[in-house]
A = this chain, B = another copy of it.
Amino acid sequence: MDAYQTILSLRSVRQFDLNRPIAEETLYQILQAGRMSGSSKDSQPWWFIVIRDRERLQTVAQTGDYAQHVAGAALAIAIVFDPQFYRGEFDSGRAAQNMMLAAWNDGIGSCLASMHHEADCKAVLGVPAELRLQHIISFGYPRSVEQGLPVVPKRARKPLEEIVMQERWSK
């Protein structure tokens, strides 16, 4: 799919068709998209934990306030980053976007979950205390055809005029 159409049509998919597993080759592309993301001074401050075990998905889903979609994902990827690296959080956002777009380009939906109970989440996955785990991304083919349509959804977004300024801050 054209990159601009992929970007505009990406939306959160929370219900997944578990009869359609994600092929290893497709997972590889998703991980490659994360790996090849740019980062400040090329620090690559991230690690990606691929979770497929149903019980683990269910357990980890309980450590975010709105993370129930993780329990029913075909697989999930936890993004771990080292806060010692400059701009690690920002750069993790870039990697997350790359992975979700690479997935959507192949018809695979995704949804970001914030892990509000981060210490609990890290305990479930054995992540060292000094690292951050703010987000887990659910992946899977959309359960309904409608969710999978590569059309620009009607989403509530602030109008461009409200968020774009010319030359200087002018709010």
Which residues of A pack against B, CB within 8 Å?
A: 1-4, 6-8, 10-12, 28-29, 31-33, 35-38, 40, 42, 44, 46-53, 56, 80, 86-87, 89-94, 96-98, 101-102, 104-106, 112, 114, 125-128, 134-135, 155-158, 160, 163-171
Contacts and interface: CB of A to CB of B under 8 A. Distances in A.
Contacts of A91: 93
Given A2-B2, A7-B101, A87-B114, A47 B160 contact: no
Contact of A163 (B46, B97, B135): B46
A90 B134 CA distance: 9
A56 B6 contact: no
7 contacts: A47-B169, A48-B163, A49-B168, A49-B169, A90-B90, A126-B170, A128-B169
A149 to B, nearest CB: 16
Nearest to A52: B167
Nearest to A5: B3
Contacts of A10: 36, 38
B44 A163 contact: yes
A96 B33 CA distance: 15
Contacts of A94: 93-94, 96-97
